Amino acid sequence: MKPIDLVATKQRYKEFTDSRKSVILSTLDAEGVPFISYAPYVKTDSHIYIYISKISDHFQYVNDNERIHVMMIGDESETPNAFARERARWVCSTANLGNEGHEEIFELFNDKFGEKMLNMLRGLDFSLFQLTPHEGRYVVGFGQAFDTDLNGDRFDHVVIDKKDK
């Protein structure tokens, strides 16, 4: 296997996370049963924001759990190998910010999804959640996993000692 170019891989990570429009949400219901869904998102250097309806199943699960997992994943039609699909995931703490204020975050949603759409959603039962990633992993291929934070300041190649097998 050729040496990994950390600078190029980190840049690819940033481009990958900037190019996604939605995150996959992994939560637990009131009985502890796993539930998976998705939501459009925007991000800053240190937070992911989702704007979700109170009538959606995942609203209550995100609201009631202090920690959830989120994932971004590459389009499977573009991956050369389904077993090594490009993806990034994080364990996040959650905070319900409501629907008032935070105009700088709503402006990011406007830029990404269109002001007309956001204006309509803001008149409904939606609530803004701030997700704070605490630990994450980016996988770009076999032997190419990296422990990372959201903005890529931490970007450590994960190496497993094969002698332990």
- The parent domain of residue 18 ranges over 6-164
Say what percent of the chain tops pLDDT 70.
Answer: 96
Model confidence, pTM: 0.90
pLDDT at residue 99 in the model: 87
- The domain tally of the chain equals 1
pLDDT at residue 162 in the model: 65
Q: Is residue 12 part of a domain?
A: yes
Q: Is residue 81 part of a domain?
A: yes
Residues of the chain with pLDDT under 70: 1, 123, 161-165
pLDDT at residue 23 in the model: 98
Q: Is residue 43 part of a domain?
A: yes
Q: Is residue 1 part of a domain?
A: no
Biggest CA–CA distance in the chain, Å, is 58
pLDDT at residue 42 in the model: 96
* Whether the Cβ atoms of residue 88 and residue 13 lie closer than 8 Å to each other: yes
Residue 106's CATH number: 2.30.110.10
Residue type, 75: D
pLDDT at residue 164 in the model: 53
Q: Is residue 95 part of a domain?
A: yes
Residue type, 129: F
CA–CA dist 64, 83 (Å, integer): 33
The span from the first CA to the last CA of the chain, in angstroms, equals: 19
CA–CA dist 122, 99 (Å, integer): 7
